[in-house]
Amino acid sequence: MDLFLQQLINGLNVGSIYALIAIGYTMVYGIIKLINFAHGEIMMFGAYFAFIFATSFGMPVWAVILVPMIIMALAGVAVEFIAYRPLRDAPRLSALITAIGVSLFLQNLALLIFKADPKVMPKLFPETIINLGGVEISSTTLVTIGLSLFFMVLLDLYIRKTKQGRAVRAVSEDKDAAILMGINVDRTISLTFAMGSALGALGGILYSVAYVQVFPTMGVMPGLKAFIAAVLGGIGIIPGAMLGGFIIGMVETMTKAYLSTTWADAIVYIILILVLLFKPTGILGKNTREKV
């Protein structure tokens, strides 16, 4: 039982990071029906900026977290403006190929700037171990879960309670009707990219703290798993991305603990295949008819 509870905590830790990254995928898809495969690289650059600010500038922890989030929010807006906005009315395949191209460009840019050798992320939070009835919980795990939940709740409140949040929901529901109601669609889409990229950067920082290393391709695997989490929960649905992230984190952790570490990734991809076969709309998604 102690082992199970320990893995449950570990699953929540990993799942909260996947959920943060998955929100970026699902927000962008919900508003412009695009899978932003460059999102993993946004996460990676967020981790690199945090590493630089922590090691070279000695910034306090709050700045090491918030400043990269702001920088990557602006980077997300720039990527949308340069790479995706000119293709908004183009076939979806063109936008998808562009997203893959942006992903590869950012990976190679990081390789050029930071080189291939992994950087060791310093400890951002004081490390203490809390023992609860034989279950050990580190302070880093608690901070990771707490920060993730805080920003998820903040996003949910922003989307549901603010004027701009309602605009995001309106554009996601029907872009043409939103234009008729006077909503600035371009600004709303840019805002969506900014929020998704900021959360992706936070996910990258927490991921690098958990796994200690930062390197140019670090965003590939967590990015793919977060994408699977978004599909599992129902892509385009923010609560679905959160739910899917926690489920994928749990599945991965339990597989490593009770089956084999080599099977962890395979099980996650099997889940994607099963979802696409039997419930392509995801756990919280609903089937909708579309006129052709």
Q: Give the mean model confidence (pLDDT) for residues 33-45.
A: 92
| pLDDT score for 82 | 94
How far apart, in whole angstroms, are the C-alpha atoms of residue 183 and residue 222? 34
**Residue 22's pLDDT band (cuts 50, 70, 90):** very high
User: Residue 17's closest CA among 232, 231, 241?
Assistant: 241
pLDDT tens sequence across 232-255: 999 888 899 999 999 999 999 999
How confident is the model over 225-235, as a mean pLDDT? 92
CA count, 13 A, side-chain hemisphere, 55:
12
Domain spans of the chain, in order of start: 2-278
| pLDDT reading at 291 higher than 60 | no
Nearest to 226 by CA among 205, 250, 242: 242
The DSSP code for 284 is S
pTM to 2 decimal places: 0.92
Average pLDDT score over residue span 84-107: 91
User: How many angstroms separate the CA atoms of 205 and 68, rounded?
Assistant: 9
Query: In the structure encoding, which two tokens stand for residue 4, read together?
Result: 């199970």
* Residues 6+ away with beta carbon under 8 Å from 14: 210, 249, 252, 253
User: Among all chains, which residue has been given the structure tokens 């922590």?
Assistant: 54
The pLDDT tens digits of the residues spanning 192-211 come to 999 999 999 999 999 999 99
Q: Is there a contact between 107 and 113 (Cβ–Cβ < 8 Å)?
A: no
Helix (H) or strand (E) holding 101: helix 92-114
Whether the CB-CB separation of 157 and 166 falls below 8 Å is answered with no
Query: Which pLDDT band holds residue 47 (cuts at 50, 70, 90)?
Result: very high
Q: What is the pLDDT of residue 137?
A: 86
- The tokens for 67 are 């400043």
**Token pair recorded at residue 268:** 């996650």
Cα 125–Cα 131–Cα 137 angle in degrees, nearest 5: 40
Is residue 208 within 8 A of residue 47, CB to CB? The reply is yes
Count of beta carbons in the 10 Å neighbourhood of residue 2: 11
Nearest C-alpha neighbor of 119 from the set 244, 215, 238: 215
Q: Which of 49-53, 175-179, 284-288 has the lowest mean pLDDT?
A: 284-288
Q: Is residue 124 over pLDDT 70?
A: yes
Sequence-distant (≥ 6) Cβ neighbours of residue 224 within 8 angstroms: 40
pLDDT value of residue 12 = 93
Confidence of residue 134 (pLDDT cuts 50, 70, 90): confident
Residue 65 pLDDT exceeds 90? yes
Q: Report, at the CATH architecture level, how domain 2-278 is classified.
A: Orthogonal Bundle (1.10)
Identify whether the C-beta of residue 6 lies closer than 8 Å to the C-beta of residue 132: no
